[in-house]
Each structure stands twice: as structure tokens, then as C-alpha cells.
Chain A
């Protein structure tokens, strides 16, 4: 079978196929001995013609019969292999330079992993050809030439090299490159004659045929056709328009992804077109579309600030039974309107100095927000006392013709008559005693109130109220007449009847009020030892007075924890008074107070101070009563709409309660007289004290002067006009606007405001609040 100058090697020996290993040994031996042309009659041996590293010059291997798998694998650059029939799998596997010509078809895996060399196939190839091929820049790229078509998964992970697929006699209708070619391609070029479909769009792209590429193709096609002995096809293959070039996408192109429709396009062209303008709920909702930023302004703010000046009253004002707007007065002090600050007291009370300055226990100060931070409350007594010498205010000069009788010229009655007079009505005070002022004048010890102050203020009352009738005994007849003669009658007769105890010897005790009254006017002899039954504030006053009159062993007893508090209790303690409780009195003897359990508290004088009740015999069941007190509504109106009652006749209370009651009743009667529907509006709510910011104040400061107190007042719910909100607003959205008559307001520009609430957080007075915006 030997032909020409080739050395013939049979793949069989004694009719048996020789193993691949033995054939390899024979081939290498021939090469070693210098033979360069071998003709191998193969019987499917593996890898024939590869790895001929020892052949340093041109070597030709011609393969007859069945070429096995991986023919020419790891081929050397000097090697040329010509397979005279078809080739099996992986022809040119890991080719490093060999030229391989196959005159038939090649099965799967042609050129897999090759980096150099050329493989020419004169037929079709199977699956996964040209996969994982490379191009090392030190060498020329590998080339795969195929006359017919490629099988599936062509060019997977191709990283370099050139493949030319001529598509001659293609059986595949729509793809010369089979199913899903070029997946994972990162380099190299593929020339294809005919249709290509389904290649990986992610990895590869079709590019136009350049002249340079075309020239290269034409030149090399001729060589290829000559190698496979089909030069006559050159004319057919010269139709440039039938050829395509595929190359890998660049990493940038891959990163951009394949050409997909954008969502915006889809929304306008598909979504909205199918559903209608406005999309899914365009027919149901008018809400504006479009996204909004995280920090939104104007109507898109979730919260909005509100300047709540005048919406709330301060805790001090709310705490004052007389309703004096204490924080307004301090605001005037801060504005240097000290006279006005002091003077306005008389618009609320006839006794600014006596009561506010001395006798009132100060519910306003007890309510002061500063207490929350354990800071001393602002001392309102200073303002009160400063009002001592104020002239009487001028009454409304539009005199009404209405006459109101006030029975009782104690603090409540005086307050009612005072306010009625100021409103322009005629008030007549009826008083049983020979002086006005009630308990202030008669029962409160001089130690608690300088006599001159009280006298000054009582004089002012007399100056304002023209008709004061003293020493008027009021019985039922008189009462009925007053009722008839006057448009309205106010009962402010106080509680003068001492409460007694149903025990033996009670007649030996002195009622507290009698004791205090005589102590002031006509001091009696009381001895060294005094026992006071009932340890309230009145009891304390008794103790203080008793000490002044010479008592040195003073005992206050009570059945429960003593109710005394404040100045009265302190004064009594200073006098050495001892409090004893709980103890129960069994009997009064000439020696003293005998307690249940047998203990005797020896005493020279025994005072009973367990409270007083009104003495209301004169009304004779004409009004609804409860527990000895007249039943009234919040305006002091009794069961008879023309009769009002206030002060201790409606229930025990502080002087300021009676003054406040007088004011309330007076204003109510004034509204009735004016024909107005009495103002039933709820009073303004008290500001939430948590809104007030006390961190601006020095907690160690003990304000003493008026201006110091003004500065330290937290001005709860009453704008100080400090401008901190304007400064703190990060968006410069707050502006101060001056109104007429030194009025002002703070305005928010909604287009700037972001609703952060900084104005609220920084406001010293709690004026700013942050509230949810109106729902859209």
C-alpha cells in the first residue's frame, strides 16, 4: 500500500488493532530517525499526529482509514496532518500550531481549546467546535475552516481565533451555526456564509464586513478551497453579501446588557396604552403623579408648624381663682411697662396688695412651670404689693340703671360690687358689722398683713363703691325687701357660724373667729397654756396670735394629718406650736382637754377651730341648699335666677376663690344686663407644660426684683417675641410680621418649610406646635 515517498505505518499488526500507545511509539521513532513524511493507516487510534516536538522541520502526516479522537492534539507548528476521510471528535484539540486538513466531516469538539494552528474541514462539523479557543499574541491566531455547517453550541467561551463557516449544502434551515452558538464568547471572529440565529446576544454581535476583512477572507478562502480540493467553489463563495461577521461584545457592551425595552418606554407605550391615561387607577384618583423627594415642602409636608399665640392660657393664670393673667403682667414688665403691669391688678381684684401680695397662698405660683425643673416659681407677690397705693380705677362712665344688692362686704362681696361698679352698674353693699373686709379685717392676725396696706386698699374700695351700708341686720324680711328692691341680689355673707363638737364641756371653748377678732381689738388674758382643737390654717393663726398674747405652750390637735400649710403653718411653728395627731377629744374639763384614752392636755385656754358654716337663716328655704351651703352653678347663680351666691356661703375656700367668684358673678350679671347671651364658651385650655423650655434659664438664679422676675418668667403660651424661631429655622421659613399697635405675629412660608419642628423644639414659651398636615 505504500505510495510515493511516505513511510507507511499500519494501525494493525497481525490483523489486530495496535493500541494507541504502541502506534505513538512507532510514530515518534520514525520522527526521531529523521523521517518527515508518514502515512498512517489508522484504526481509530487516539491523538495521531500530535505532539511531534522533535520534528524541527516540516513534517507531514497523512491519515488513511479511521482517524481516532483528538487527531493532531497538542499539534506542533511544523506538523501538517491530512485526514483523507472523516475525522472523529476533538480534531485539533489544544492545537499549538499544526495545520490539519480533513477531507470529510468532523464530529464534535473540533479545535476545542486550540490556541494556534489551522484546521480545514472539507465537510460539516459536529457540536461544540471552536470552543474555548484562544489567541496568544506571540503567535498567529488559530483558524478553523469549515466547508459546510457547524453543530450546536458552536464557539462557546471562545476567547480568540478565527472560524470560517462556509455553509455549503446546509441542511439546517435557519442557522449555519446550529443551536445557541457563541455563548460566553469573549474574543475572536467568526465568518459565516448564510443565516445565523439564536446566538448569544449577551456575548456576541454581528458587525459589518470591512474591506480589509473581505480581502483577508477572499485570499484565505482560495487557500482553503485548494487544500480541500474544491477550488471550483470560489465563485459561489465570492458573493460578499452572503457573508456575516460575528465578534464578541466588549466588556462595556456586555455590561450595558442586551437591547431591552426600557421600563419608561413600556409604561407609556404598553402599560398606559392598554389601561388608559394615568395607568392602573387613573380613572379613580386625581392625586398628582410623579415621585416626590424625601424632604418635601408646602402641601407635601407631613407635618406643619403652627404659631399658637393666644390659644392657651398659662398655668399660673389657670391656677389663679381670680383669673389674673400673671404671665401677661411679666411680659409688660419685660417691655418696661411696669406701671401697666402693676395697675392691671385692679382690673381683676380689689385687693392686689392685701391678697396677692400677702394673704393668698399663691396657687399661681404653685402652678408655675418652673417648679417642674425644681426652680423657684416667679414671686408674684412683688407685683401684688407694688399695687398698694394704686388709685381706684375709673368705672365705665356709661351708667346702667340696674341696681344690684350685695349682702356681705367680705372679699367676695366687695369683689362682686367692685366689678359691677367698674362695669357701670350700681352696687350696694350690705354689711352686718361695722367694717368692710370681712375676715381680712376681723380675723386675720396683723402679723400676716401690715395694717396700713389693708387700710389703704379698703379705703380704695370705699372710694370706688359709693353705697356701702354697715351694721345692717339681715333677716328674712329685710332679705325679701332687698330682693324686691334690687334687680339682682348677691349673697356673700361668708361663714361665720363656728362648727361645734357634741362633747361635754364644749361651752368652755372659744370659737376661733371670736378669739381672733377679740385678739385684734381687745386682747384678753389667755394664760400660758393653750390647746387649739383643729390644726388648719385658722388654728395656726390662733396659735400665732396666742403667742403674741403671751401663750408659751401651744398645742394644736387634730383627728387627722393637719391640713395647715404655707405661711400660717410656718408662723405657728416659729411660735413653738406643737401639732398632735391623730387624737380624739373626749371631754373638756376645767383643767384642759381630756382625750379618748385618758390623756389630759392641760390648758388655760381652749380654742375650737374646726371650721365655720354659713349662717343663712335669712333666706328661709327660698333657695336650694346642700349640706348647709347654697347650691350654685359656675356663675354663682342659685335656684332663683335673680339671686346669686359666692364665697364661703357656697362652700369653704380661699380668699382668692371668693374674689374670683365675685368677679365671675359680676361679669355674668353684666352680660345678662347687656342683653347678651351669657358667654358659655369654654375657657381657653391650659398649655401643656411639657411644651415650655426651661433650659434657657439659670436654675440657680433666685429672681428678686421685678425686672429679674420678668426675665425669668417662662411666659408659658405667651410669645416673648424673642425671634429664636426665626434664627433656628434651617430653611429660613419663619418671618416676624409687625401688626398695628405694637402687635406682631410670626408667619411660616409653606414653600420653604420642611416640617422639621425645630421652631417647636426651640421655642422657650411653647407657642409653636407641629401638627399633621391636612390629608390630601
Chain B
């Protein structure tokens, strides 16, 4: 940096940056790997000067001064090249000479990230590590009371129902009268939430799908995956694997023409149709695929021009009320598959979620409700939406479930919870908490990316560049130079690992509760928390 430059308001020093590169020149072998892998070019080789002064007060000695130059890695301080903390440099460094470290002081870059008047956009997460779900304990442990079960030896029915379950009386009546009975799927309660082909790289998406197929066909676990809003590759639509897929339709209707063309050729019905109305990470804002990621392949699958940013409208453009949405969308989608496929909406958690649920309870065609909480992830959103908009999932699920119990329909319409499940790694405990608060199943996204593909994101604003297509792990990039770092087979293997281990953990939680024949949906007497206000709000035990 020139010493003679003028300071500008956004002139930052290393001290101002959220991530600082700690570099050990003694260990560095100048191999260039760190600068070659850095996704944002935050580091570069730099020539430095070193001055040596030889001085002596001896008689005849002439003090001298000498400049030498040396080479080292330097971190850049401009906003667009600020280190994102992904630590790919550390990953690449053969000598452990370099690593990003979170600045313990104030992140002053925050105040300058709106250059040219564009507010910060990012991918990833809310970057708030607190989690009510992590604080919930399972306090009802059966020992000499209920049959104490052993997760290792007992058989557990870890399945949930996706679809409208009629009341026994109504069901019998329709059977007698040969009436229509809504489709119901028995699925695994841990569902891969909607992440689009486009938001994710082809290798990531294929790895996820392959892992899901393996779990179904080799492990007998009926795991389902939602496509997200970005269409579905034509081959998958025409394969038997489609039955493991929940097709998502959202306000952009991307890729739906391909789906329509495939319907006559489908070997299997899809598991379900999810109508996306909102996303927990950015409620009230539509999907956003930034132009960096819209390459030839994505453009083809979505039916759009290459290299353009693809925002989805915040609302479905032809629907103006809950009633209209329910009537139009659920009916249209049900009709497309002859009323054989469950259709349900997905909304962002909101203080108005109850209104949606109440509406759905009055409509037989509504197969469920998915609610996405504020801790949900996203491929791209304005930071302000991610940081300040949204509703926590726990109380929203609880309110909705209790409302169902009030009207006696808690066994009839399933609620699925999403957003922040496993955000700190405690996936089974978080899922079990939500199930016991009333969810019939949970949807996960970020956890998968971390566990199955090595996403480096944390709740500390680390990496978060999913929107830019420069994902250093190749998870959310459409650049073959990046996504080919990720092998779909390895992703599939990790998906299998994580579902199998989740299954064991979930059993370790439900076994001591004495539940083996069905999921403990709404079994809130098993839950406790060490905060009186939360306990009261969630209607669970206060334990200290």
C-alpha cells in the first residue's frame, strides 16, 4: 500500500477486517497454494522491504544502512477482497503456515460493505449461534416406570406420515361410499429440505439424490428430498427414483415446463408437491439466484437466459389471499397427478402462520404444512432479511400444534419444521425437540451441506459466499473448476452416514422415553428447559 495515499472513508486496515490472516513467514515455503485456492483473492504474494542498520561507536567505524527485499503472503484490505475466513489457505498449506482468525474486536467492515449503495447480500445463515432447541432437554427418562427401551436392540418405528389423515369415522364413511381418500406417504422424519438445482452445484445435487436413493433401496430408510425451486433434471423425472423426491413449486415456476412434459412418462409419482410461499431465512422475499450461477446448464433446466440474476417474486403473482392460494395451487397440483400425490404449502415461520394452518385444516386436499424458521439457510439473500426478519421455529411449531390439538386435528394434518435444525451440530436432539413440540418431521439443509459436503460455514459469518458461485468446496458453485472438487459419490456416502447415525441418535433419545412404535409427536411432557419464560411460552417443563 503506498505510504503517500489519501485516506478514504472506506480505507480499511487489517485491524478493521472481520477475518485476519495469521501467517508465519518462517514456516512458509512460498509454494503459492494458498493464493491459488483463496476464493476471494484475499491474499497475495507481496514484496517487502527490510532495513538493516549497522552502527558502531568504535573509532573508525562508519555506520551504514542497507535495504533488502523479501517475499511473503499479504492480506488485502479492500472490501471486495476481504478474507471470508473459509480457511482454504490452511487446507492447502503444506506447512501449517497460514490461517484466518476471527477478529476479536469490532468488525468495522460492516460499515463499508454497502459500496455503490448496494446493501450486503450473502448466502448461508443468520450467524447467530444461540439456539433454544439446543437448550431443550429430554427430562422424562423411563427407568422403572414405562418400559425402558434400548436403542440398540429394540425395533423402532421411526417413520412419519406425510399426507392428510382422515378421522377414523370419515375414513370409514368414504371407504364405504367408495369416496376419495387423500394420499398419505410413510416417510422418514428427517427430510432434505428444498435446495434448488442451481443454488447447489450439479455434483452436490446428484450426491444428495444418490445418497437418498441408496438409503431407500439399500437401507430400507424412506428418506425424501425436496427439489427446491429450480426444476428437476429430466432424467430424474423419468426414473423410479422420483418417488423419493418432493417436487417444489414456487413463485418463479422455474423448470415446471420440463416437469409437465415428463408427467406422462413418469414411472412413479413423486413423493409429494411442496408449494413454497416463504423461506425462513428471508421471509417475504422471493428466491434469488445470482447471475454468477446461471450458466448454460442451469439456464436450460430453468428455461431462462444465461448469466442473468433470477429473482423469484416474493408472492405467487396470481394469488392474493390464503383462500385463493389454497384453492388454486393445491387443487392444480393435486389434479396434475390425479389426486394421488400429497400437496402441501411451505411458509416461513410467522406470527400469522396460524391463519394459514386454520385454512388448511378446512381443506381436505391440503396434505400438511411445512414451516421454515428464521434460522433456515439460503443461497442468496439481503443480509438485513437474514439478520432481522423472521420468526423462531420452536414457538411457531408449538403454537400451530397446540392449535391443532384444540380443534382435535393433531393426528390429521402433519406439520413439518425447518430452520436451524442441527445448526450447532446437535441434529438428532434438535429434531427430537421439534417433534415433541408437535412437528411430524423436520427439514434440514445447512446441516447436510456441512456434514455431507464439508461446507465451512459456521455461525460466525464464515464464508457465506454461496450467492457468488465461488463456494470453495464446490457445494454451491456452478463452476466446474470448483464443483468438481466435490465427488457425488463421497456426498452420497456421507448422506448415508449421517442418516444412519441420526437414526441411532434419535433412537437413543426416544428409547429412554419408552417410545418405539411411533414417533413421539407432541410428547411435550418429555421436554424441559432451564428458563421459566421459555418453558411457559412453549408449555413444557421448567427444570433447574
Q: Which residues of A contact B (CB under 8 A)?
A: 153, 156, 180, 183-184, 200, 260-261, 263-264, 266-267, 270-271, 274-276, 279-285, 287-288, 290-296, 300-303, 371-374, 689-690, 693-700, 728-731, 754-758, 760-762, 764, 773, 775-776
Contact check, A281 vs B202: say whether CB atoms are below 8 A apart. yes
A696 vs B50: C-alpha distance in the bound complex, in angstroms? Answer: 10
Question: B48 — which chain A residues lie within 8 A by C-beta?
Answer: 695
Question: B450 — which chain A residues lie within 8 A by C-beta?
Answer: none
Contact check, A754 vs B44: say whether CB atoms are below 8 A apart. no
A284 vs B301: C-alpha distance in the bound complex, in angstroms? Answer: 9
Contact check, B210 vs A266: say whether CB atoms are below 8 A apart. yes
A731 vs B205: C-alpha distance in the bound complex, in angstroms? Answer: 35
Q: List 5 A-B contacts (CB under 8 A).
A: A292-B485, A293-B485, A295-B37, A303-B41, A372-B3
Pick from A153, A371, A695 the residue with the most CB of B within 10 Å. Answer: A695
Q: What mask results when residues 303 to 317 of chain B are scored 1 for a CB within 8 Å of chain A, else 0?
A: 000000000000000
A731-B481 contact, Cβ under 8 Å, with A281-B202, A294-B92, A762-B47:
no
Question: A730 — which chain B residues lie within 8 A by C-beta?
Answer: 30-32
B273 → chain A closest CB, angstroms: 20
A267-B492 contact, Cβ under 8 Å, with A156-B153, A284-B300, A730-B31:
yes
The chain A residue with its CB closest to the CB of B295 is A775
A767 → chain B closest CB, angstroms: 14
Contact check, A762 vs B153: say whether CB atoms are below 8 A apart. no
The chain B residue with its CB closest to the CB of A692 is B2
Task: Pick the residue among A183, A264, A758 that contacts B489 (CB under 8 A).
Answer: A264
A372 vs B489: C-alpha distance in the bound complex, in angstroms? Answer: 53
Contact check, A184 vs B152: say whether CB atoms are below 8 A apart. yes
A-binding segment of B140-148, B228-236, B279-287, B406-414: B228-236
Contact check, A263 vs B32: say whether CB atoms are below 8 A apart. no
Give 12 new A-B contacts, CB below 8 A, not counting A292-B484, A294-B92, A301-B481: A180-B155, A267-B210, A275-B241, A294-B37, A372-B3, A373-B2, A729-B32, A756-B32, A760-B45, A761-B46, A761-B71, A762-B45
Contact check, A290 vs B485: say whether CB atoms are below 8 A apart. no
Contact check, B37 vs A271: say whether CB atoms are below 8 A apart. no
Contact check, A274 vs B241: say whether CB atoms are below 8 A apart. yes
A296 vs B482: C-alpha distance in the bound complex, in angstroms? Answer: 10
Pick from B36, B236, B482 the residue with the most CB of A within 10 Å. Answer: B36
A280-B69 contact, Cβ under 8 Å, with A757-B35, A775-B295, A776-B481:
no
A260 vs B213: C-alpha distance in the bound complex, in angstroms? Answer: 14
Question: A156 — which chain B residues lie within 8 A by C-beta?
Answer: 153
A386 → chain B closest CB, angstroms: 29
Verify if B479 is at the interface (C-beta below 8 Å from A): yes
Contact check, A756 vs B488: say whether CB atoms are below 8 A apart. no
B interface, size bucket: 35 or more
Task: Pick the residue among B32, B218, B301, B489 that contacts A754 (CB under 8 A).
Answer: B32
* CB under 8 Å from chain A, chain B span 142-167: 152-153, 155
Question: B217 — which chain A residues lie within 8 A by C-beta?
Answer: 266, 270
A42 vs B295: C-alpha distance in the bound complex, in angstroms? Answer: 85
Which secondary structure characterizes the binding site on chain A? Answer: loop
Task: Pick the residue among B44, B152, B210, B489 that contacts A757 (CB under 8 A).
Answer: B44
Verify if B240 is at the interface (C-beta below 8 Å from A): yes
Question: B202 — which chain A residues lie within 8 A by C-beta?
Answer: 280-281, 285
Question: A270 — which chain B residues lie within 8 A by C-beta?
Answer: 213-214, 217
Task: Pick the residue among A276, A288, A754, A761 that contacts B47 (CB under 8 A).
Answer: A761
Task: Pick the residue among B155, B205, B209, B481 that contacts A302 (CB under 8 A).
Answer: B481
Q: What mask results when residues 323 to 364 of chain B are scored 1 for a CB within 8 Å of chain A, else 0?
A: 000000000000000000000000000000000000000000
A577 vs B37: C-alpha distance in the bound complex, in angstroms? Answer: 62
Question: B424 — which chain A residues lie within 8 A by C-beta?
Answer: none
Verify if B493 is at the interface (C-beta below 8 Å from A): yes
Verify if B52 is at the interface (C-beta below 8 Å from A): no
A695 vs B92: C-alpha distance in the bound complex, in angstroms? Answer: 28
Contact check, A699 vs B44: say whether CB atoms are below 8 A apart. no
Contact check, A690 vs B2: say whether CB atoms are below 8 A apart. yes
A306 vs B138: C-alpha distance in the bound complex, in angstroms? Answer: 61
Pick from A275, A280, A291, A295 the residue with the most CB of B within 10 Å. Answer: A280
A773 vs B36: C-alpha distance in the bound complex, in angstroms? Answer: 12
Contact check, A372 vs B300: say whether CB atoms are below 8 A apart. no
Contact check, B153 vs A281: say whether CB atoms are below 8 A apart. no
Verify if B383 is at the interface (C-beta below 8 Å from A): no
Question: B169 — which chain A residues lie within 8 A by C-beta?
Answer: none
B54 → chain A closest CB, angstroms: 15
Question: A761 — which chain B residues lie within 8 A by C-beta?
Answer: 35, 44-47, 71
Verify if B518 is at the interface (C-beta below 8 Å from A): no
A754-B479 contact, Cβ under 8 Å, with A183-B153, A728-B45:
no
Question: B47 — which chain A residues lie within 8 A by C-beta?
Answer: 693, 695-696, 761-762, 764
Verify if B320 is at the interface (C-beta below 8 Å from A): no
A281-B33 contact, Cβ under 8 Å, with A291-B486, A373-B3, A760-B44:
no
Verify if B4 is at the interface (C-beta below 8 Å from A): yes
Verify if B130 is at the interface (C-beta below 8 Å from A): no
Q: What mask results when residues 210 to 252 of chain B are scored 1 for a CB within 8 Å of chain A, else 0?
A: 1101100111000000000000011110011100000000000
Question: A755 — which chain B residues lie within 8 A by C-beta?
Answer: 36
A72 vs B213: C-alpha distance in the bound complex, in angstroms? Answer: 53
Contact check, B155 vs A283: say whether CB atoms are below 8 A apart. no
A756 vs B46: C-alpha distance in the bound complex, in angstroms? Answer: 12
* CB under 8 Å from chain A, chain B span 79-125: 88, 91-92
The chain A residue with its CB closest to the CB of B219 is A260
Contact check, A280 vs B5: say whether CB atoms are below 8 A apart. no
Contact check, A274 vs B35: say whether CB atoms are below 8 A apart. no
Question: B236 — which chain A residues lie within 8 A by C-beta?
Answer: 275, 280
A702 → chain B closest CB, angstroms: 14
Contact check, B71 vs A295: say whether CB atoms are below 8 A apart. no
The chain B residue with its CB closest to the CB of A290 is B484
Task: Pick the residue among B49, B295, B300 that contacts A695 (CB under 8 A).
Answer: B49
A281 vs B210: C-alpha distance in the bound complex, in angstroms? Answer: 13
Q: What mask results when residues 396 to 407 of chain B are scored 1 for a CB within 8 Å of chain A, else 0?
A: 000000000000
Question: A694 — which chain B residues lie within 8 A by C-beta?
Answer: 2
Pick from A271, A283, A300 the residue with the most CB of B within 10 Å. Answer: A271
B5 → chain A closest CB, angstroms: 7
Contact check, B67 vs A699: say whether CB atoms are below 8 A apart. yes
Verify if B425 is at the interface (C-beta below 8 Å from A): no
A295-B239 contact, Cβ under 8 Å, with A183-B153, A285-B297, A290-B484:
no
Question: A757 — which chain B residues lie within 8 A by C-beta?
Answer: 32, 35-36, 41, 44-45
Q: Give the top 7 A-B pairs by smallest Cβ distance, nearest first.
A: A756-B32, A761-B45, A372-B2, A183-B153, A291-B487, A756-B36, A695-B47
A180 vs B301: C-alpha distance in the bound complex, in angstroms? Answer: 48
Contact check, A728 vs B30: say whether CB atoms are below 8 A apart. yes
A762 vs B240: C-alpha distance in the bound complex, in angstroms? Answer: 57
* CB under 8 Å from chain A, chain B span 381-438: none
A485 → chain B closest CB, angstroms: 54
The chain A residue with its CB closest to the CB of B39 is A302
A293 vs B37: C-alpha distance in the bound complex, in angstroms? Answer: 11
A371-B32 contact, Cβ under 8 Å, with A296-B481, A301-B481:
no
A200 vs B485: C-alpha distance in the bound complex, in angstroms? Answer: 38
Task: Pick the residue among A180, A296, A300, A760 that contacts B153 (CB under 8 A).
Answer: A180
